[in-house]
Structure 1
Amino acid sequence: MRKLLLGMIMAFLVLGLSINPAAAQDQVQIKIDGELRNFSPGGRIADGRTMLPIRYIVEDPAVNGEAFWDPINYRVTIKTDADLFIFDINSPTAVVNGKAITLDVAPFIYQGRTYLPLRFFTEQMGASVGWKERENTVLINFNSDSLVMGYFYRGTLEELDHSVLTDVLFRWLETDGQGNLFYEYWSDNEGAERREAALERARQNGLRVHASVMLMGWNAAGRVQVHQLLGTPENRQRLISNLSAHAKQFGYDGINIDIEGIPADDRENFSIFMAELYQVLQKDDLTLSVAAPAKIAGSSWHMGFDYPAVGKSVDYLIIMAYDYTTSTPGVSAPVSWLEKAVDYAVSCMPSEKVILGMGLYGRDWNLDNNTKTTFYQHSLEALMNSSFDMAPGFDKVSYTPYIDYRDDNQKQHRVWYENSVSLGEKYAVALEYNLPGVSFWRLTGAFSDFYTMLGGQ
């Protein structure tokens, strides 16, 4: 019985909720670069993958290719401006520009039409592909930069090997009210060697590296430091000079600012600081990004962060679209709230500056005493291997999975976490708004479904 229960739970964790493939066959919609394509017949679901008639793929303006059919060998050859694809019907192997690649689902013929795996084909052409489950819609963006920016915090070298990464934000720097720059951790000689090794590993993997500096203003002492820094021109300039020199010394590609809990009285000061920093970094040919609190139109929260003003002085604004609920049991990032946060951001600046920040962790809430612990991938694995009685579920309002269980002391818990379905729905928001990419906190402990959802490792 226990093996059966674990099997059922693991299936639920992977799928998030049950889908009836037969019911979905004729309901799959496809959006390419934000425009709905009215294909008839539409896409079909095969083994969890969207298959589309070859004619629709090749003739679409975004592809603009030619297809050639070999009836003897049951083979399809597709030529585009830059690529050559060869598909054999019912074969799990395709040849792309002379290289054999294994497919998740083989091409097939149905009612006289040849169906190809849509995601594989479009990703090979450099597109970003997502699945919006709430609307049974495939989202394909050829105009996206496909950035995946991960925060590195007390991490390991192996975490820098994920194939989906494009950028790493090394969050190991701190500042203070005087604008001094120092390391939060790894500050001794051994730490310097670890930092050097991490930067080298990232560069070996072709990743862009950014130095992330933080200052937290969430308590009284922190707010004093934030005000001293932002409200004093000399202190702002000291930090700017320190950041510029640090980036040059260690060869960073960019700087990431993570100043949180900015008082409303320092709203203008922070905007001025970002403008001053941006001007200096542009001369150094360095990218400037900023971690921004998730804001909703009309809300009075986070008045110290002026989206329109800051948006003028950054290359990327990373919305920290997580920690929606921290004091009472609940989800970290309901998808409707996340959509509103992105909608507000793109109303304040060009969408190509907005990065959707995702939290790749969950919360384990003790419902009897209203306490919580942070829940990571290893926490999920430990829970699944425990002897606790568990009941998985999926909240369709927030689009978030959960697990209910009782601990050894018979205390009732609810774990809110993320899986491929919930993360895919969030990623779909980035695609729908044509954002240049996503960011996430953090590499250490991140739910592995994130990498799977993006088609990587």
Structure 2
Amino acid sequence: MKRIFSGIFLVFLLLITSLPTYAATTNIQIKVDGVVIPSDVKPEIRNNRTMVPLRVISENLGANVVWSDTEVTLTKKNMKVILNLHSNTVMKNGKTSLLDVKPYIKNKRTMVPLRFLTETFGCKVNYRNSTVSVDCEALVIDGVKVKALQEEYHMTMGGVVQQINGNAYNETIYNIFVENKGNKVEAPANYS
């Protein structure tokens, strides 16, 4: 009887310990302002934190990423963040703070906690099933909320109209226009 009980207990213990491993390898989909963010390195769970590729997510949030040896600097508007690889210490606008999980390398990509990145740049994170939604502040121009930028181009047999969604994209494009307002722009050498 003791052997049967011990065998059942061992099987039960093995089943329970294998569940967290399965949860850590599920496919997590990241959406920024409703747009799915593709990456060659999949997000993963480590120490109950969703870890994502730094450059892919940062740039989709509208931040500039600059590397110097093992230090990375992220800038967006008036926010400057300095991270060191394999260190949980972070400098945000000159103030030191700690990450729950140290950044690490996976398939030549630096992985960082998603919530840290999104909240640093003023966005909100929502988890539902295996989808993580990141919502940033909408771009407002002269009191009008911009939901998408639209581009249109004409070809021989008709035209194509596309919309660019994503608050960070819209804000970045708008800022480029504002910075270059009044500057002379040369025509492209080749339109193909």
TM, length-normalised to structure 1 = 0.25
Q: Deviations over 1:60-114 (max 9, x none)?
A: 1xx222212222xx21111112211111112111111111111111111112111
Alignment equivalent of 2:68, drawn from 70, 81, 103 = 70
SS at match of 1:143: coil
Conserved in 1, the CA contact under 8 Å of 2:88 and 2:101?
yes
Written as runs of structure 1 = structure 2, the 5 A alignment for 1:104-253 is 104-132=100-128, 134=129, 136-143=130-137
User: Is 1:75–1:86's contact at 8 Å kept on the other side of the alignment?
Assistant: yes
Paired position in structure 2 for 1:34 = 34
CA shift in 2, pair 1:39/1:112, >3 Å: closer
- For residues 298-447 of structure 1, the aligned pairs below 5 Å read none
CA distance in 2, matches of 1:112, 1:26: 21
Paired letter, 1:88? N
Could you list the runs of 5+ residues in structure 2 that have no partner in the other structure? 1-17, 139-192
- The 1:139/1:46 distance shift into structure 2, 3 A limit, reads same
Structure 2 match to 1:43: 43
Give the one of 91, 98, 106 matched to 1:95: 91
* Residues 19, 122 of structure 1: alpha-carbon distance in 2 compared, 3 angstrom cutoff: farther
State the match for 2:54 in structure 1.
54
Kindly indicate whether the alpha-carbon contact (under 8 Å) linking 1:32 and 1:140 is maintained by their aligned counterparts in 2.
yes
Letter in 1 for 2:96: A
1:22 deviates by 5.1
SS in 2 for 1:90: coil
Shift of 1:120: 0.8
**Counterpart AA for 1:129:** V
Cα separation, 1, equivalents of 2:109 and 2:22: 18
Describe the SS at the equivalent of 2:119: helix
Q: In terms of Rg, which structure is larger? A: 1
Deviations 1:9-28 (Å, cap 9, x if unpaired)?
A: xxxxxxxxx96345543611
Alpha-carbon RMSD:
2.1
Partner SS, residue 91 of structure 1: coil
Cα deviation, residue 126, structure 1: 1.3
Q: Which structure is higher in helix share?
A: 1
Change (3 A) 1:19 1:126: farther
Distance 1:93 1:110 in 2: 20
Cα separation, partners in 2 of 1:36 and 1:91, compared to 1, 3 Å: same
Measured at CA, do residues 31 and 103 of structure 1 come closer, stay the same or move farther in structure 2, by a change above 3 Å? Answer: same
Amino acid at match of 1:107: P
In the aligned structure 2, how far is the partner of 1:94 from the partner of 1:19?
Answer: 33
2: CA distance, partners of 1:22 / 1:137: 16
- The 8 Å contact of residues 58 and 117 in structure 2, kept in 1 or not, is answered as no
- Calculate percent identity across the aligned residue pairs: 35
3-state SS of paired residue (1:94): strand
2:109 alignment partner AA = R
Change (3 A) 1:40 1:26: farther
SS at match of 1:20: helix
CA contact (8 A) 1:33 1:143 kept: no
Q: Which amino acid aligns with 2:118?
A: T
The amino acid across from 2:68 in the alignment is D
By relative contact order (CA 8 Å, sep 6+), the higher-ranking structure is 2
Q: Distance in 2 between matches of 1:143 and 1:79?
A: 17
Equivalent residues of 2:41, 2:107 under 8 A apart: no
